[in-house]
Structure 1
């Protein structure tokens, strides 16, 4: 019996005659905050930047691109997993143009959130502004590849949304205004409403394959563990923050279910890094790490951005030993593990 051989030959014939028979992702399109920003903040008047060493020391050419990491971030690994280029360029980066963005573009801005009040804190791009840039991108794409090809790219692309942490840590729990307006439960509903409207707007613009990012265990970030220590709570993960993340993720899961039922032809998935990241933090050695409580950069307790510069003598020599690169962001190695997990457990439906 040579059925397997004949089957392979038949598949080859089908693919040759009908190349569209197997769905292919032509582009990765990214919205969100510093978890996915590949350098848009470089072009903004904000203190929240990372376009200097030692950021990017493990990126291609050792170049600090504005990614809040020693190397690559999740959209880069996800783009590569879909057979596209190994990094997704920032839309505002003058090094790139529409020919570079046709198969991947990043609109994310470090420090932003669903809530516009969050982006106001550090003068970064509000979430709605990322949408405006995306609309501008669509126009450029149509001019570059033609209306028909642009429509195909827009509908077959995978859209990654990753934000929300700053809404709680930078806004709700730091500033009084939202706490005076909302209970934490109602604030979650408020953010979820914005997320839903954003996805519906993307749908109207032609998007069909969307990944909504859930929150990480934000109480386990080194910055929050340091704050916990100085509050006299021992410096372990802030489980109150983690419970809020879990609660919000549950609401996002419900939102995903509703959107899939409501919008014809859409496929929305929840990409949830919470459990894999918490496992890594609690059992770092099982994943090849030595340190999880503090970060590689500087003292690893509270530094990020300009407090994590090349003149700081305390920065570790090997970031692969650390779960976190700076006090708020995972190392490249962690990003790779989490991205592989997300691909296997959520984004595989788009392969």
Structure 2
């Protein structure tokens, strides 16, 4: 009788061991299958590239990075949108900045971050900061990474890696904030260059840049539009007549660009075979958060958590002499220009799982299984 009982128990235990091993293997495969993550853009997604160049646009000092326990070069208290997206897709760590000395060898096979604070679509954008990597320079740097990956794993494996990778681009805000809207600095006179002409030139340049990225093997390309720049604390300070409302003209510029960018994404999907260009409507998401901030758990949607001067704390960038709000999770904005980790988390998760009103023609989760 004892032997009869032992056999079913033994069989059950063996079955459970097999199931357990299958689960472990599945998790390992899932982790290994996380796509490489290549990131281009400006200070919204810079992970520290500007730490390594002579630039007035830096975030390598406290209280930036306060929720990392130290400054990292990110222009926020914690994670950027792409940091959070990387966690969502299963990456084991944050995508490293291209200019970091440790970003070499096996590290680049999981992706690289090329973004740079002050960078723009136009090469002359952000020149007030001195050093910065505009999008053309970022694409040059990706070309270097691409060649290094091919040399490391071979052309066939590299082609497969790029075909399955995510390429995220968040750029364009500086072309307005630190170019068109600052004629003394940019020498772009608004009475001579209409918004329509300026945006048309932006779109034309951006089309060339996106097609270059595609030609280097990128397939899944997520293109973020320009957010509601008229709502950032800096613009509120510069336009006191707006009162507590967002400033109309910068937002109108962003919407003019965004409408043409959406059309560009649609054209590229139609005309370039084997491509998945995704339009991420960050403007819609951030504007929704600002309008309905209390429903998202925020207490402040118009002022900088890290502040020193101004009604909205938007006159001076976050720095060592700044004061920090008591509860960072209650603020939409970290500094005069950039969202907090809490706001970035909402944006990232809506891009990951949202409907077509947030991200089109599919969200990132759908893109990964497509």
* Residue in structure 2 matching 1:161, options 165, 169, 179: 169
* Residue in structure 1 matching 2:344, options 312, 332, 335: 335
Deviates more, 1:239-248 or 1:194-203: 239-248
Instruction: Output the CA distance in 1 between the equivalents of 2:224 and 2:105.
Output: 26
* Residue in structure 2 matching 1:201, options 196, 205, 212: 212
Instruction: Output the CA distance in 1 between the equivalents of 2:143 and 2:172.
Output: 22
Instruction: Output the CA distance in 1 between the equivalents of 2:107 and 2:315.
Output: 33
State the SS of the aligned residue for 2:38: strand
User: Does residue 308 of structure 2 align to residue 301 of structure 1?
Assistant: no
Q: What is the CA distance between 1:246 and its match in structure 2?
A: 1.5
Gap runs ≥5 in structure 2: 1-18, 355-362
Q: What is the CA distance between 1:250 and its match in structure 2?
A: 0.8
* Residue in structure 2 matching 1:318, options 324, 327, 342: 327
Instruction: Output the CA distance in 1 between the equivalents of 2:340 and 2:196.
Output: 31
Aligned residue number for residue 199 of structure 2: 188
Gap runs ≥5 in structure 1: 1-8
Q: Is the 8 A contact 2:236 2:314 kept in 1?
A: no
Q: What is the CA distance between 1:341 and its match in structure 2?
A: 0.8
**CA radius of gyration, larger in:** 2
Q: Is the 8 A contact 2:126 2:179 kept in 1?
A: no
* Residue in structure 1 matching 2:298, options 246, 270, 289: 289
Superposition pairs of residues 1-351 of structure 1, within 5 angstroms = 26-59=35-68, 62-123=69-130, 124-175=132-183, 177-178=187-188, 179=190, 182-229=193-240, 232-299=241-308, 300-303=312-315, 307-312=317-322, 314-345=323-354, 346-351=363-368
Q: Is the 8 A contact 1:28 1:79 kept in 2?
A: yes
The number of residue pairs the alignment matches comes to: 328
Q: Is the 8 A contact 1:158 1:350 kept in 2?
A: no
Q: Is the 8 A contact 1:56 1:65 kept in 2?
A: yes
Instruction: Output the CA distance in 2 between the equivalents of 1:333 and 1:210.
Output: 25
Q: Is the 8 A contact 1:228 1:236 kept in 2?
A: no
| TM-score (ref. length: structure 1) | 0.88
Instruction: Output the CA distance in 1 between the equivalents of 2:247 and 2:127.
Output: 26
Q: Which consecutive segments of 4 or more residues in structure 1 shift more than 4 A?
A: none
Instruction: Output the CA distance in 1 between the equivalents of 2:165 and 2:349.
Output: 19
Instruction: Output the CA distance in 2 between the equivalents of 1:160 and 1:105.
Output: 11
Deviates more, 1:238-247 or 1:155-164: 238-247
Q: Is the 8 A contact 2:39 2:115 kept in 1?
A: yes
